[in-house]
Amino acid sequence: MTPAIELRGVTKRFLTPSGGIYTALRDLDMAVEPGEFCAVVGPTGCGKSTTLALISGLEPASEGEVEVFGKPVKGIADGIGYVFQADAVFPWKTVLENVAAGPRYRGASNREAREKARDWISRVGLSGFEDRYPYQLSGGMRKRVALAQSLINGPRILLMDEPFSALDVQTRSLMENELLALWAASSASVVFVTHDLEEAISLSDRVFVMTAGPGTVKSNYKVDLPRPRNVAEIRFQPHFAEIYEEIWKDLKDEVLVSYERQKRSGAA
């Protein structure tokens, strides 16, 4: 079976404003199966977000191959959903218009798009808020809008860049459970970037650990916890602690390297 996402020997360099070259990713290999929920963890600045940008086609790779369902990525492909870390819902559109944007951009009629949007708004539990503007919503509600906005297009791949990092702990675990329910109802593969190892384990089937930048995949771990899961409770299972410990041993070194580097560049 062809993997949903495959990155082979991918390197990504950026030009810095001062004219230097910054290598964000180096020789990265990664494969995600169809329908698999993967989490990517790693220290700050290891290129987690860059990985997502490459898969989505927002950025081209400098070297190596990026393939989605066996086809090389050239520009933004169909069938991809992307939930950004910062708020990326359109502030001048109401909830309904925001969620209806995707189908409209893809050629659906206004009526069709709105009908579909209403359905998705109720699926993420925002019925009654269709006519609100984003500034009138809480952070958690805006994330729901962003989720509905992405999922309405029926993506086969959902990329999520620390989507819940700005939420308070309670809202966060509620959103995580809802995300799992929505994902279970779809057949999408998910790549979920986070710096929180607990979140990574409780959500995913597989955890990729990245090295301190320039990032590459250091190791990957299968998470064989049973589904359906309750994110708020699964961390009390003894097996969860075992997995956590195993991955943390691996991750810890990278975090320390990254931390030392930051300290040094801060002192310089």
Partner 1 sequence: MNVRSAAARLSVRMHAPTGPAERPLPDLAARRKRYAQRRRLSVAGLRLMLGVTILGLWELTTRLGWVDVFFWSQPTAVAAKLWIWVTQGTDLGPIQDQVLVTMEETVGGFIVGSILGIIFGVALGRSALLSDVLGPYIKGANAIPRVVVGALFAVALGLDIRSKIATAAVLVFFVVFFNAFQGVREVDRNLIANARILGAGDRQLTTEILIPSALSWIAASLHTSFGLALVGAVVGELFGATQGLGELIYAAKNNFDTAGVFAGMALLAAMALVAEALITALENRLIKWRPQAVTEARI
Minimum Å gap between C-beta 58 and partner 1 is: 6
Alpha carbons 171 and 211: distance in angstroms, whole number:
30
Among 69, 84, 129, 248, binds partner 1 (CB under 8 A): 84
Among 133, 165, 171, 177, binds partner 1 (CB under 8 A): 133
Q: Applying CB under 8 A, does 135 fall inside the site for partner 1?
A: yes
Minimum Å gap between C-beta 217 and partner 1 is: 24
* Spacing of C-alpha 199 from chain mean position: 12
Q: Applying CB under 8 A, does 163 fall inside the site for partner 1?
A: no
Among 50, 149, 173, 194, binds partner 1 (CB under 8 A): 149
Stretch that binds partner 1, among 81-89, 188-196, 223-231, 237-245 (CB under 8 A): 81-89
CA atoms within 13 A on the CB side of 230: 4
Neighbours of 154 (CB within 10 A): 15
Minimum Å gap between C-beta 268 and partner 1 is: 29
Q: Of 89 and 209, which has the nearer Cβ to partner 1?
A: 89
Q: Applying CB under 8 A, does 91 fall inside the site for partner 1?
A: yes
Alpha carbons 79 and 71: distance in angstroms, whole number:
13
Q: Of 133 and 248, which has the nearer Cβ to partner 1?
A: 133
Alpha carbons 227 and 234: distance in angstroms, whole number:
10
Asked if 235 contacts 202 with a C-beta cutoff of 8 angstroms, the reply is yes
Alpha carbons 36 and 5: distance in angstroms, whole number:
10
Q: Applying CB under 8 A, does 166 fall inside the site for partner 1?
A: no
Q: Applying CB under 8 A, does 51 fall inside the site for partner 1?
A: no
Asked if 247 contacts 255 with a C-beta cutoff of 8 angstroms, the reply is no
Report which of 73, 134, 68 is spatially closest to residue 101, judged by C-alpha positions: 134
Alpha carbons 95 and 76: distance in angstroms, whole number:
24
Alpha carbons 171 and 41: distance in angstroms, whole number:
21
Residue type present at position 35: G
Task: Measure CA of the first residue to CA of the last residue in the chain; give whole Å.
Answer: 50
* Residue list 227-266, contact with partner 1 (CB under 8 A): none
- Count of positions on this chain that bind partner 1 (CB under 8 A): 27
Among 56, 173, 202, 216, binds partner 1 (CB under 8 A): 56
Asked if 202 contacts 231 with a C-beta cutoff of 8 angstroms, the reply is yes
Minimum Å gap between C-beta 173 and partner 1 is: 25
Minimum Å gap between C-beta 102 and partner 1 is: 4
Q: Of 80 and 207, which has the nearer Cβ to partner 1?
A: 80
- Residues of the shown chain interacting with partner 1 in the complex, contacts defined by CB under 8 A: 56, 58, 76, 78, 80-82, 84, 86-94, 101-102, 105-106, 133-135, 149-150, 153
